[in-house]
Amino acid sequence: MRILFLTNLYPPLIIGGYEIACAQTAEAMRSRGHEVQVLTTWSHVPQETKTPDWIRRRLDLHWYVPHTPNQTLEARDLHSAVCSSYANTLHLLDALLDFRPDVVSAWNLTGIGGLAMMDLLNHLDVPWTLYLGDRVPVDIAANVPADVRGIFNARGGEVYEKARIFSVSQNLLDEIETESSISFPQGADIVAGWADLSQSLPHQPYLQNGKARFVAASSVAPHKGTDLIIEASAQLQESGVDFSVDIFGEGDLPRYVDMAKRLRLEERVRFLGSLPYMDLLRAYSAYDAFLCPTWERDPFPFAPLGAAGCYTPPILTRNCGTSERLVDGVHCIKIERTAEDLARAMAEVATGQVNLAKMGRAGRRLVEGDLSFERHLDKMERAFEECARSWEMPEDPKLPLLLFLKHNLSVRLRFG
């Protein structure tokens, strides 16, 4: 089977779990014998090895700061990001002509002109799937006026009707319907997050020498709860508990280093930068609990699931997407998203009130079973096979002109 993966970002340039999930799926499908090609954006991040030929970095990335208001953002750049980027649409057309995939697997399309790309797939009647790891339909509906969306047959949810839809959580589907009134009458498969535990290590003894070792791994930013982690750490320090917090990830590090210094947490909280996925999973074996006070609308943070699979119980926001799959008090500790409740849960861990070994074993069993990487791949592979079919590329030399006219009309309608 020939599968074309379409995504805004691809490692080493990533934001979080959405991009890692796409890369893991693409590479695993290759290992299962399928012919795979990835169409994505260029990357300025240095790579240890040359990019393989099957990963084509042809697309331009127009603005990608998810859910972050920016008053200086150029409106035309936003239009190119969520609605139409003519050059990117042509690159997709070229990939379809050259590769002739049996199915297109679309992931995060924000930043590359995703609406026009989906319209092209529908126009050519190419079988395609859309994996929702974030609220792509909301980004499009909120930032593209209805008359402009109509050019691409997307006034409502029509543009998604031919796609096989996957969502990382029911939480996300509910948010998309609430925020954009878009539902998926064809149904949506819940394909939750997963963890590849193939290189994980046995867990070290918990609370060694009476010290609680906490870890967090995400973007270092307010919406991921970095402020709350530092504030809770200050409360814990005042109570006299012996603990440490290691924070992995990139973001506004100077701000948070200064915050930790102001609260005299230099000996407690460390910022350790990014680690490759497998190295991070191996690192979890040395920690007692994983901190994830992410914002409530986080569709499905993958990191706490990986920690749970490595016997490191997560402390996470009660109503984020991942909480759908974890049982409070069995696989994890769920909290309200406040520094006070986070500090309470951390104190319970540090003072031995939580049976970490039992909770760690339960988390491992869950991730090895229902949320294993292999089970995810089986589900995705079956869906690709069900969608895959032959399709005919029309011999229409005017097709690029049609794409240009749609793009140009969308710009004229939007900006005059």
Reported confidence tier of residue 229, pLDDT bands at 50, 70, 90: very high
What pLDDT is recorded for position 277?
A: 87
Q: How many domains does the chain have?
A: 2
DSSP string computed for 205-269: PTTGGG-EEEEEES-BSGGGTHHHHHHHHHHHHHTT--EEEEEE--B-HHHHHHHHHHTT-TTTE
Reported confidence tier of residue 51, pLDDT bands at 50, 70, 90: confident
What pLDDT is recorded for position 14?
A: 77
Residues 170 and 32 grouped into a single domain: yes
pLDDT at 73 over 60: no
**Mean pLDDT value across the chain:** 93
Residues 232 and 304 grouped into a single domain: yes
Residues 362 and 388 grouped into a single domain: no
CB 260 within 8 A of CB 247: no
Convert the pLDDT of each residue in 193-209 to its tens digit.
Answer: 888 898 899 999 999 99
What pLDDT is recorded for position 68?
A: 53
Residues 61 and 186 grouped into a single domain: yes
pLDDT at 49 over 70: no
Which CATH number fits the domain that encloses residue 275?
3.40.50.2000
What pLDDT is recorded for position 77?
A: 87
Asked if the structure places residue 203 within a domain, the reply is no
Residue 59: partners with Cβ closer than 8 Å, 6 or more residues away = 8, 39, 40, 41, 42, 85, 88, 91, 112
Helix and strand numbers (H, E) in the chain are 15, 13
What pLDDT is recorded for position 122?
A: 97
DSSP state of 36: E
Asked if the structure places residue 6 within a domain, the reply is yes
Residues 188 and 212 grouped into a single domain: no
What pLDDT is recorded for position 65?
A: 54
> Which of 295, 342, 333, 337 has its CA nearest to residue 312?
333
Using CA atoms, how far apart are residues 181 and 93, in angstroms rounded to an integer?
30
Residues 213 and 186 grouped into a single domain: no
Residues 266 and 312 grouped into a single domain: yes
DSSP string computed for 273-311: ----HHHHHHHGGG-SEEEE---TT-S--SHHHHHHHTT
Residue, of 14 and 229, whose pLDDT is higher: 229
Q: Which amino acid is at 7?
A: T
CB 396 within 8 A of CB 219: no
Count of CB atoms situated within 10 Å of the CB of 64: 16
> Which of 21, 22, 59 has its CA nearest to residue 40?
59
Q: Is 375 helix (H, G, I), strand (E, B) or coil?
A: helix
Alpha helix (H) ranges present in 43-85? 75-82
> Which of 388, 382, 394 has its CA nearest to residue 189?
382
Q: Which amino acid is at 27?
A: E
Residues 133 and 147 grouped into a single domain: yes
pLDDT at 72 over 50: no
Q: What range does the domain containing 90 cover?
A: 2-194+374-415
Residues of the chain with pLDDT > 90, as a percent, come to 81
Residues 254 and 399 grouped into a single domain: no
Compute, in degrees rounded to 10, the torsion defined by CA atoms 186, 324, 216, 176. 40
Residues 169 and 94 grouped into a single domain: yes
Average pLDDT rounded to a whole number, residues 266-290: 95
Asked if the structure places residue 199 within a domain, the reply is no
Residues 91 and 121 grouped into a single domain: yes
Residues 159 and 285 grouped into a single domain: no
Convert the pLDDT of each residue in 104-129 to its tens digit.
Answer: 999 999 999 999 999 999 999 999 99
pLDDT at 4 over 60: yes
What pLDDT is recorded for position 92?
A: 98
